[in-house]
Amino acid sequence: MAELLDWIYVIAAVILMFGAAVFVHEFGHYWMARVRKMKVEAFAIGFGPKILGWTRGGIEYSWRWIPAGGFVKLPQMITSEALEGSAEGTENIPPAPPGSKILVALMGPLMNVVFAFFIATLIYILGLPEPINPPIVGYVAPDSAEAQMGVREGDRLLSVDGKRVKTWHDAQSNTVLARTNVVAVVIERDGKELSFNLPTVINETFGLKMLNLDPRDHPVVRSVEASGPADKAGLKVEDEFLSFAGVPIYNQDQLVELIRKRGGQASAVVIRRGEQRLELQVTPLVDPATKRGRIGVGITPGGRVIYEIVHPTPWAQVVKVWNQTVDTLSALVHSKQTGVGAKDLVGPVGILGMLAIQVNTDYRLALSFLVLLNINLAILNLLPIPVLDGGHILLATLEKIRRRPLSTRFVEYTTTAFAVLLISFMLYVTFFDFKRWSLFHSMFKQPTQIEQSEKPATPDTPPPSPAVP
């Protein structure tokens, strides 16, 4: 019963928070349209068929099934029938001046920025859990390039690609976004700083480049299937995987991939159990449905993510998110150098999944994610692409420069074409969201420990970035 209530809480919180971000954006358009005396036909959260709806004052209000955004239907601003449906009875409505169109389009993103600062102010008052697990290097293979360069177990990463890091999350994020396959890394050893230029490797699960370094924490057994291969081999809950079939284990996905490839093959497993280091033998069964190996264990990312409470200023939080968004867009533009592509982004499903993870961990982390979500909505909507707010601003600006309206057919065709592209793009990234669903699930189950030690507010302690490519 308690677990059911937890799920109800998480689902309700996710719907409320995501809906709030969409609502403030659309309310900005709605409010400015009313101020500028423009006709409003509909106000909707979501797309597609209606969950519920009502009409008041000639305006249809609705909540819809596809949680990928929302819209305010304004017949004086030509939009896309693919997203909002066709407009009816608008023949006698006078056209809106370009200045009104620009203000209406701009107010949505502006409201997201205002909302982000409001939430960031709450976080400043309440405090924000910040992960403090240091990025300590674990096992280093003696014959590896890193060992030959002088990297040692116990080294602590200080910066990657010229940017300061506090966690492995930071280190790998900086590596992914770097525009080179050889990354500058600064480590600390015995109070001294050492610099290395380390080669990267492509992670087969994500298709992104990462440092070939083993973190000190490893995947941990959370459940063992009775009479399964793992149970027969002697694996127990809380055992920590160190190596499998002679390969050092540095993350959960690598371990799963190794197990899948060794169906029917006896494999040596090195684990840490308390203070003991044990070697066991396990033979993965071949799943008849997938033809892949399995040993019958549930695993989660290694160690417990430990947080401390910080009080970052609202400005520091928003600047942090701004920099992350700009870095991600830059990585996409320079895809050939970084390896980051559209498939590495998260769509609506991924956003809801990440928000659920944050809600399940701590409500303050969920609020921090909401800051990121609102700033991202503002930035992306201002891109000068027809169907987005930035496209409306661009078209209205051209209309103002030309001193006459653009061709209605041209605007309709252009907007609809980009709407189809936008929908296709969302479906594309959502496909990869579902492929990553097991990762979201394992992160949802990851244990955490919130330390209540307080840390003063400084510009150098912005919130953790809950979402990266």
| Per-residue pLDDT, 458 | 37
Query: 179 or 205, which is more confident?
Result: 179
Q: Are 60 and 79 in contact (CB under 8 A)?
A: no
Q: What is the radius of gyration, based on Cα positions, of the chain?
A: 25
Taking the alpha carbons of 344, 347, 350, 351 in that order, is the dihedral positive or negative? positive
Lookup: tokens for 56? 């008041």
**pLDDT given for residue 460 in this prediction:** 34
Q: Is the pLDDT of residue 29 over 50?
A: yes
pLDDT of 203 > 80? The answer is no
Q: Which amino acid is at 181?
A: N
CB 412 within 8 A of CB 267: no
Q: How confident is the model at residue 309, as a pLDDT?
A: 87
Task: Using pLDDT thresholds of 50, 70 and 90, give the confidence band for residue 185.
Answer: very high
Instruction: State the pLDDT confidence band at 233, using cuts at 50, 70 and 90.
Output: very high
The yes-or-no verdict on residue 441 having pLDDT over 70 is no
Give the pLDDT of residue 291. 77
Say what percent of the chain tops pLDDT 90. Answer: 29
| pLDDT for res 312 | 93
Q: Which residue has the higher pLDDT, 371 or 254?
A: 371
How big is the chain, counted in residues? 469
Q: How confident is the model at residue 368 (pLDDT cuts 50, 70, 90)?
A: very high
**Mean pLDDT score across all residues of the chain:** 81
Q: Average pLDDT for residues 52-78, to the nearest whole number?
A: 86
| Confidence check: pLDDT of 462 > 50 | no
In the chain, the percentage of residues whose pLDDT exceeds 70 is: 85
Spatial distance between the Cα atoms of 30 and 93, rounded to a whole number of angstroms: 17
Mean pLDDT of 127-135: 80
CA-to-CA distance for 195 and 157, rounded, in angstroms? 10
pLDDT above 80 (res 403):
yes
What confidence category does residue 77 fall into, taking pLDDT thresholds of 50, 70 and 90? confident
Residue 151 binned pLDDT confidence (cut-offs 50, 70, 90): very high
Q: How far apart are CA 167 and CA 251, in angstroms?
A: 15
Give the residue-averaged pLDDT of 330-352. 78
Q: Does 467 have pLDDT greater than 50?
A: no
pLDDT value at residue 466: 33
pLDDT at residue 341, as a whole number: 77
pLDDT at position 446, please? Answer: 54
Which pLDDT score is estimated for 212? 85
Predicted pLDDT at 119: 96
Mean pLDDT on 275-280:
88
pTM of the full structure? 0.69
Average pLDDT on 62-86 reads: 73
Task: Select the more confidently predicted residue: 465 or 385.
Answer: 385
User: Candidates 3.30.450.80, 2.40.10.10, 2.30.42.10, 1.20.140.70; correct CATH number of 220-300?
Assistant: 2.30.42.10
Summarised one tens digit per residue, pLDDT across range 297-325 is 888 766 556 677 889 999 999 998 988 88
Architecture of domain 134-215 in CATH?
Roll (2.30)
| Per-residue pLDDT, 276 | 86
pLDDT band at 455 (very low <50, low <70, confident <90, very high): very low
Average pLDDT over residues 136-148: 84
pLDDT over 80 (residue 216): no
Which has the higher per-residue pLDDT, 88 or 409? 409
The domains spanning 134-215 and 220-300 adopt the same CATH topology: yes
Please tell me the predicted confidence (pLDDT) of residue 116: 96
Do residues 358 and 352 touch, judged by C-beta distance below 8 A? no
Q: Is the pLDDT of residue 57 over 80?
A: yes
- The domain spans of the chain are 2-123+372-435, 134-215, 220-300
pLDDT at 85: 52
Max avg pLDDT among 78-82, 105-109, 199-203: 105-109
Query: Which range has the top average pLDDT, 72-81, 328-337, 358-367?
Result: 358-367
Residue 391 pLDDT > 60 = yes
Mean pLDDT lowest for which of 182-186, 190-194, 261-265?
261-265
Q: What is the pLDDT of residue 457?
A: 40
By DSSP bridging, strand 192-203 and strand 182-189 are: antiparallel
Ranked by mean pLDDT, the top range of 10-24, 119-133, 185-199 is 185-199
